[in-house]
Structure 1
Amino acid sequence: MLFQFSPHIQAGLAAGIYDQVYSGGVPIGVVRWAKGTANAGHFAGNAVGILSNSGAVLNPLAAIPQMAMSAGQMYQMHRGFQAVQASLGVLQATTVVIGIGTFAGVALIAVNLWQTLKLREDVKQLKLEVKNGFIDLKKALKDQGSEIIQRIDEVAQDIKFEQHRLVLIRAYGKFLEATKLMKTAMVCEDLSIRNATLASAQLMLTEALADYNNPQLLSETCAAGQLRRLECAWTIDQTITLSFQLQNQLAAVSDRLSSLQDKIRQDSLTVIERCETEDELDFLFPELIRIHDHDLAVLESWQNHVDWMRSLPPSELKLLQSADFDNPEVTANPDINADTTALTAPPEQLLYENLKQKSHPASLQDQLVLMMKPSLRQEFASYISEQSAIAGYKTLVPANLQNASNLAVANLYWYFKVRDESEDDVEAEAVTA
């Protein structure tokens, strides 16, 4: 995990004025004054962005990067509130196109990963406004063609979707009221009042989360719609976790972050299993790649950060929480973390288009499964090894498959699966002949 620091901090790191903090060999998005400086050992600043190993800024769909970099700093948490409201509003709004059933078809293109990133950037730049948890998609997607506008009108007339929409509006309203309480709590000087206010916010957020996770509503929704609802739920879940961080309950924060990462993986597997059409797969594949590579990475970074804070002695923790990290460069340049790639196709989309030329849909779905649950690779490898031995291939043994890509494993699995089923069909025909 790499971090992006402000130009001032970056220059100080290069000059040896600051040292980045590490915990058990894991980098943390915080820097301290280096040995030999006047303030040696004191905390000097924190990251303004999280980077992938390739150096690209992580831009998750549901995770809140600001929380992973906050170090308990209130200004970062305030930015986190803004980010989560924009993210939730856009994710929820796209359900207006997806609808309830499995009939969205090519209309899913209008709200796929790339388009969603564009919509979120428009909300950030105040080109679009979130009202009652929705944005005016007719306005936002007016250039997408009449078919999309017609789809929005059709969904709006669906009585069942209207029932879903009312639940989402209610849930979003609870979310907004809860975040207002959390902001109020942040300025309360009396600790007991602050914690009581946060407890009230937690109750409201829990009620909102129950609406988003409503199993009946989720069961009535197609795979694409279910994923967007779940992304909303993950966002609410993180907001609850943030409330515990504001109460300085770091053990609870760490536990919730660990559980959420597990839930995201399991929810993703459920969505993959529900995928029924190639149009849905076109929608799901790039998005789930983004969730795996960005959202889960951000949550892991947040948990690393919190676990590091838990390891600090009380004196250092107090020093950290009292440090002034309000970076004038970030304040003066609010777009320092702005997504400048929204106008270009995201790498996940390009990857998917490349993989589609090398795999058929069943293999692509299993590649997602293996990504979200790597432990299944052993099961796939055993089947490949068994079938390859029958076919006389001697090199496809489990040891040789350990370093194979998910693409290779899934393709080999389906090569032998189809071959095996074809042989069974031939044998069955011979018996009945």
Structure 2
Amino acid sequence: MVAEPLFAIPDFVLGVAQMVQTDLGFKETYKRLDVIEYGLKSLSANVGILSASTAVIGVGVVAIAAMSAVNLHQTLKMREDIKELKLTVTHGFISIEALLRDQKAEVIAEIKLLAESINFEQHRLILSQAYQKFAMAQRLIQSALLMEDKHTRNSTLTSAQHILANALADYNNPELFKATCAVGYLRRVECAWAIEQTISLTYQLLNEPASVSNSLSHLQERIRQDILTVIERCTKDEIDFIFPEITRIYNQDLAVLNSWQNQVDWMLSLSADERKQLASLNMETTPVSNTNQEVAIVAEPEEIALYENLQQKSHFKSLRDQLRFLIKPSLRQQHESYISQKATTSGYKALAPSSWQEVNDLTVANLYWYFQGMEGSSKYVGWVKVLVTQLFISNKAFC
């Protein structure tokens, strides 16, 4: 089963050979313009879905029903519906009735109140303006792909960049983040990430690999910082939504962006002769087949099953720390030191390993909060006692 990223688009990442060949002529280089066109359409759909779901979430404390209506599984379903023309994005939004057609009447009524609240009206205006700028920039990029004259094409792409920068400024507007819950914050920054990814594409179409690399590096760092902010804001009610989505972003989206940057950096490391040899190769970029993607979208995302399994073994604060460790592994060090200290003073010396490399995030987070005094949860404490017993019997988890 093929897992599809939430906002990043792997299909339109141009091959390294094609990038090197740009100077040989645009038409000869990009024989597979359909790949780029597909990527642009996918980005447009993704931004539309992410932006539209903000209306369901609203502003302030989000309703659990609203989160379930636009969770990871539902978001991937909406993407497929847009591909099949079952949903239409207008000015950055999808009608509430169409978006929630499978929900109960009382849920739709509750969510419509959120979407039509005075607090959300200002957000709607900003998001709508930003989406329209994004759509305009995309039309310019699509036009540029058809231009024969290099100067006119590059000028058009540069104009698209300016519009994208303005759209990004709108998505980054501080007003969008005022009194916004963690789920709403995540949806708003996801829109911005997709815009930044589109800017990276324009640098590649302009044959500016150093700028592509810099742009992708900045984007990946921003994603990690934004996610850490989301985790800090996350409440017990939001963790069911946040955990699977952040896991998906880490495993799929960041992996795609990192792979793209590695390709570009490798190309930059080549000598002039090596680039000439690479440019002589007849290589084509082939889009990923949609057949497997449809199967993956129909099924519930594996990240949800992973979360449900961890949920049975963890406490809310432990789950939140596991997300922190995933995004920034160095944050584990303080927990490891604390556990070692407490394990020694508590008589659980088996929990103070000489090396932590083979100890998973689940164990580290759970033990940390156990020693922090999480005895209030019998389920949590029971699991830790089982863990301690297992460690005394078999020392496999610790060196």
Is 1:415 the counterpart of 2:370? The answer is yes
Aligned-pair RMSD on alpha carbons?
2.0
Per-residue deviation, 1:324: 6.2
Partner Cα distance (1:419, 1:79) in 2: 50
Match of 1:64 in 2: 9
Is 1:354 the counterpart of 2:315? The answer is no
Is 1:164 the counterpart of 2:128? The answer is no
Partner Cα distance (1:302, 1:162) in 2: 37
Per-residue deviation, 1:224: 0.2
**Are 2:123 and 2:176, in contact at CA under 8 Å, matched by a contact in 1?**
yes
Per-residue deviation, 1:96: 1.3
Per-residue deviation, 1:299: 0.7
Structure 1 regions of 5+ residues with no counterpart? 1-55, 422-433
**Secondary structure of the corresponding residue to residue 358 of structure 2:** coil
Match of 1:99 in 2: 58
**Are 2:164 and 2:195, in contact at CA under 8 Å, matched by a contact in 1?**
yes
Match of 1:33 in 2: none
Structure 2 regions of 5+ residues with no counterpart? 19-29, 377-399
Per-residue deviation, 1:420: 10
Greater strand fraction, Structure 1 or Structure 2: 1
Amino acid at match of 1:318: A
Partner Cα distance (1:419, 1:130) in 2: 46
Match of 2:237 in 1: 279
Per-residue deviation, 1:291: 0.5
Partner Cα distance (2:112, 2:256) in 1: 36
Partner Cα distance (1:93, 1:144) in 2: 16
**Are 1:97 and 1:148, in contact at CA under 8 Å, matched by a contact in 2?**
no
Partner Cα distance (1:229, 1:103) in 2: 14
Amino acid at match of 2:255: A
Per-residue deviation, 1:307: 2.1
Q: 1:316 aligns with which of 262, 271, 277?
A: 277
Deviations 1:211-268 (A, max 9, x none): 1111232133110011011111000000000000000001110111111111111110
**Are 1:97 and 1:151, in contact at CA under 8 Å, matched by a contact in 2?**
no
Match of 2:284 in 1: 325
**Are 2:3 and 2:293, in contact at CA under 8 Å, matched by a contact in 1?**
no
**Secondary structure of the corresponding residue to residue 280 of structure 2:** helix
Partner Cα distance (2:283, 2:78) in 1: 33
**Are 1:60 and 1:291, in contact at CA under 8 Å, matched by a contact in 2?**
yes
Matches within 5 A, 1:93-172: 93-172=52-131
Partner Cα distance (1:182, 1:281) in 2: 38
Partner Cα distance (1:362, 1:350) in 2: 19
Match of 2:391 in 1: none
**Secondary structure of the corresponding residue to residue 418 of structure 1:** coil
**Secondary structure of the corresponding residue to residue 338 of structure 1:** helix
Match of 1:264 in 2: 223
Match of 2:22 in 1: none
Is 1:295 the counterpart of 2:253? The answer is yes
Match of 2:262 in 1: 304
**Are 1:164 and 1:217, in contact at CA under 8 Å, matched by a contact in 2?**
yes
- Larger relative contact order (CA 8 Å, sep ≥ 6): 2
Partner Cα distance (1:369, 1:219) in 2: 23
**Are 2:203 and 2:209, in contact at CA under 8 Å, matched by a contact in 1?**
yes
Deviations 1:165-191 (A, max 9, x none): 111110000001101111122222222
**Secondary structure of the corresponding residue to residue 339 of structure 1:** helix
Partner Cα distance (1:275, 1:287) in 2: 13
Per-residue deviation, 1:159: 1.3
Partner Cα distance (2:316, 2:309) in 1: 13
The number of residue pairs the alignment matches comes to 359
Deviation larger for 259-268 or 390-399: 390-399
Per-residue deviation, 1:108: 0.7
Match of 2:347 in 1: 392
